[in-house]
Structure 1
Amino acid sequence: MSRFRLQPSPSQERALLEHCGHARFLWNLAVEQHAHWQPGRKAAPGYAEQCRELTQARADNPWLAAGSVMVQQQALRDFAQAMANFFGRTHRRPTWRRRGRSEGFRIVGVTPGDLRRVSRKVGEVRVPKVGWVRFRWSRAVSNGVKSYRVTRDRAGRWHVAFAVVPEPIPAPGTDAAVGVDRGVVVSAALSTGELLSAPTLRRPEKTRLLRLHRKLARAQRGSNRRGKVKAAIAKLRARETDRRKDWVEKTSTRLAREFDVIAVEDLKIATMTRSAKGTVDAPGRRVRQKAGLNRGILANGWGQLVTRLGQKAPGRVVKVDPRLTSQRCSACGVVAREARESQIPAFRRGGCQSGEGEVRSG
């Protein structure tokens, strides 16, 4: 998927926000319809029935009829696909969308005439009922683009992503294999001994972020000051996210080019980052420490790295059962609870038969 930075004018930005609002409104209506459905009762309305209801709603509500029917119908089609993925046990159940989060809409049926290049670094895409919107042409756009998605992040930045199927990276053919152990202090430790760390905010940026959070705590809810502080925090968070994504792309591309087989632990990240606060009757223990661990796991891009490796090197990523991987010697196979980095010398004297093994996950 090729993603570019949009540069809409103020009037175009207002029109894009209206499209986002209509798509979010219809998505939430579809979520509400399915939220009250229970097995054994009348089936929840599908895409065809929802489109008929949309036609009636556009006739009764001029504000909805002023929007693009293409954007609105595609929002319902995306929800139907999300429900199909949920029943297929490949994705979670679709949830509510909030204003300011998950803002965006999708356009399908793009023709070559809907995309043009103005200069070396500027291109334009045609959006229904908005017109030609400029974007920064930072990379090549693949031929055969059939759809695109317009999004707005919390920092107020607009992006357009053209849906294309990228070509997988060919294997080097050297029969080289590598194990990748993901951690919190070190993002990725390779079996070659190399340690890779995902970039984060620099020390001055972290200090500024802390000050902004303090200002946010003192700001009155609903005030303009609070909105400005939230926007400043969102910009810092977006900068951190961009750096992490860039690191994931470069690291996954490098591993796919240098190794024929890439082994990773089959970690259940959603379960590992679940909150430990518990319930009112059974509160959790060390909740703040667990929350810090969850933030550390998510900040290192564990899931993004494995996802991009699977897309760039299909069939060459091997997921290993993580049980006992940090306690097993690679040479003799002895498993011991003492087999940790700080305990390896003592472990080798007492348990490892060869003295040449090494305990390393992945």
Structure 2
Amino acid sequence: MELVKQTRAHVARLDLSAAQVAVLDGQAHTARALWNLLHEYFTFRQGRLASVKDCDEAIRAARHEIDWMGQLPAQAAQAVLRTYRQAWANFLNPDHPAKRPIFKSRLRSRMTVDVPQARDLQIKRVNRRWGAVNLPKVGRVRFRWTKDLPGLTKGGPAGRITGARLVKEADGWHIVFRTERQVPAPLCHPGPQVGIDRGITVALALSDGTTREHRDWLTGGEKEHLRRVEKKSARQRRARTPGQPTSKRLRRTYDQIARLRAKAKRRAVDWQHQTTTELASAFGVIKVEKLLIANMLKSAKGTIEHPGVNVAQKSGLNRKIAGEAWGHTVTLLEYKTRDRGGQVVKVPAPYTSQTCHRCGHREAANRDGTTFACRNPDCGWIGHADTNAAININNADGTAVSGRGDLGVTRSAKRQPPRAA
């Protein structure tokens, strides 16, 4: 039986003391500052690009000369260098959607610390609910044990842990274990083919006439709470003296907003995982539209010379599209169908919602909201507009994808090698 390597990530919440949180916060800020120093050193160094050796020597010198740089573990500092170099490699890869590496802002960047060597973790299970892990310069920390990790539980899944990454979310610090397993190569999925139309009114409409829908990510009470704290933050910002640091009260209000939005995000991701697992298990070939979501989310406000129209309506539409996370749904489908021997195919998006799947008549007036009524007098098919679009997607030819992105993406003119100042 042929075996293939399967890499996955497992996220667990850490149980930290206030002192340990302060240590991790300091390490994360140091890692961000190191990224910015590397970016400056790499791109603006005496008329030439710095090599990996130059960057490594600069990091070692900085750790000896700058006191606060030493609070970041040496392995984590080397991981920042590898991540930075990989960011450039992704940007220069014509098949990768990554953008050019830039400086990281203190307020807008995600706080992370890498633990690249699994031997430093020394993971043990404490009881049914908790496990314990060693974190460099932090000490022994408990984490929620919600799933057996490969190679650690007797009778559990075989494999090993290759490293971890510490990530700070709105509800605290989490650890992301990188796991590796050898699993049997998947056989060809015997399931049928289906087309999926992603929408707002109906989250996922399938060509077989079924739909996959969800409730609002926040309850009525939680929405009202979010509205109140957002109004409170607006009042506090108006009372704030320009140029002065953010007050503790305003920071607490920001934290309340972040926790509510993080709760909505967790519920959305949970629904996406459950739904995509069910779809990947049921269907062998899944066809979806090839959407340029970033372009769909652009603002309609325009310029002073050419102001936009219906700006508020477009802003509301953008929020709804972003809330559905269409791209993440397809990303989950890609690896889950691949694990089960299936395939995801992306098809061209234009006119799938205006074309009748029965007779092929295309007209913008065919669709009125969620109702599709073919204007061809010889056809006259009437049904749900999203179901009609899903059938058109299922009947269209497309390009098979695996991992991230389309296999036939052309190189962007903006993807140029970095230049020295």
In 2: Cα distance, 1:169 partner to 1:327 partner: 41
Equivalent position to 2:178, from 160, 163, 168: 163
1:206 maps to 2:201: no
- Secondary structure in 2 aligned to 1:229? helix
1:188 is displaced (CA, Å) by: 1.1
Partner of 1:239: 263
Contact 1:340 1:359 in 2 (8 A): no
Partner of 1:131: 139
The Cα RMSD (Å) is 2.7
In 2: Cα distance, 1:14 partner to 1:225 partner: 20
Matches within 5 A, 1:206-355: 206-219=223-236, 220-221=239-240, 222-314=246-338, 316-340=343-367, 344-345=372-373, 347-348=375-376, 350-352=377-379
1:339 is displaced (CA, Å) by: 2.4
Contact 1:180 1:263 in 2 (8 A): yes
Kindly indicate which of the two structures has a greater share of residues assigned to strand.
2
1:282 is displaced (CA, Å) by: 4.1
- Secondary structure in 2 aligned to 1:141? coil
1:76 maps to 2:81: yes
In 1: Cα distance, 2:382 partner to 2:198 partner: 26
In 1: Cα distance, 2:334 partner to 2:27 partner: 33
1:49 maps to 2:76: no
1:145 maps to 2:161: yes
Paired positions, count: 357
Instruction: Label 1:354 to 1:244 Cα distance change in 2 as closer, same or farther (>3 A).
Output: closer
In 1: Cα distance, 2:38 partner to 2:28 partner: 15
Partner of 2:209: 193
If the length of structure 2 is used for normalisation, what is the TM-score? 0.78
If the length of structure 1 is used for normalisation, what is the TM-score? 0.90
Equivalent position to 2:118, from 110, 135, 145: 110
In 2: Cα distance, 1:157 partner to 1:191 partner: 41
In 1: Cα distance, 2:120 partner to 2:220 partner: 46
Code of the aligned partner of 2:68: W
In 2: Cα distance, 1:60 partner to 1:262 partner: 56
In 2: Cα distance, 1:273 partner to 1:298 partner: 8
Instruction: Label 1:204 to 1:198 Cα distance change in 2 as closer, same or farther (>3 A).
Output: same
Q: For structure 1, which segment, 107-116 or 212-221, has the greater mean C-alpha deviation from structure 2 after superposition?
A: 107-116
Code of the aligned partner of 1:72: A
Gaps of 5+ in 2: 1-8, 151-158, 241-245, 394-421
1:169 is displaced (CA, Å) by: 10
In 1: Cα distance, 2:210 partner to 2:145 partner: 35
Contact 2:62 2:69 in 1 (8 A): yes
1:171 is displaced (CA, Å) by: 7.2
In 1: Cα distance, 2:184 partner to 2:273 partner: 13
Instruction: Label 1:355 to 1:217 Cα distance change in 2 as closer, same or farther (>3 A).
Output: closer
Contact 2:120 2:134 in 1 (8 A): no
Instruction: Label 1:195 to 1:354 Cα distance change in 2 as closer, same or farther (>3 A).
Output: closer
Instruction: Label 1:211 to 1:66 Cα distance change in 2 as closer, same or farther (>3 A).
Output: closer
Partner of 2:23: 15
- Secondary structure in 2 aligned to 1:159? strand
Contact 2:374 2:381 in 1 (8 A): no
1:344 is displaced (CA, Å) by: 3.8
Q: For structure 1, which segment, 178-187 or 110-119, has the greater mean C-alpha deviation from structure 2 after superposition?
A: 110-119
Contact 2:28 2:113 in 1 (8 A): yes
Matches within 5 A, 1:58-97: 58-89=63-94, 90=96, 91-97=98-104
In 2: Cα distance, 1:280 partner to 1:107 partner: 49
Flag the structure with more relative contact order, 1 or 2, with Cα contacts below 8 A and sequence separation at least 6: 2
Equivalent position to 2:196, from 157, 176, 180: 180
- Secondary structure in 2 aligned to 1:178? strand
Contact 1:116 1:124 in 2 (8 A): yes
- Secondary structure in 2 aligned to 1:123? strand
- Secondary structure in 2 aligned to 1:347? coil
1:108 is displaced (CA, Å) by: 1.0
1:356 is displaced (CA, Å) by: 10
Partner of 2:127: 119
Contact 2:301 2:309 in 1 (8 A): yes
1:184 is displaced (CA, Å) by: 1.6
Partner of 2:414: none
Contact 1:339 1:359 in 2 (8 A): no
Partner of 1:359: 388
Code of the aligned partner of 1:186: V
Instruction: Label 1:241 to 1:35 Cα distance change in 2 as closer, same or farther (>3 A).
Output: farther
Code of the aligned partner of 1:163: R
Contact 2:162 2:180 in 1 (8 A): no
In 1: Cα distance, 2:281 partner to 2:23 partner: 43
In 2: Cα distance, 1:198 partner to 1:27 partner: 40
In 1: Cα distance, 2:302 partner to 2:196 partner: 32
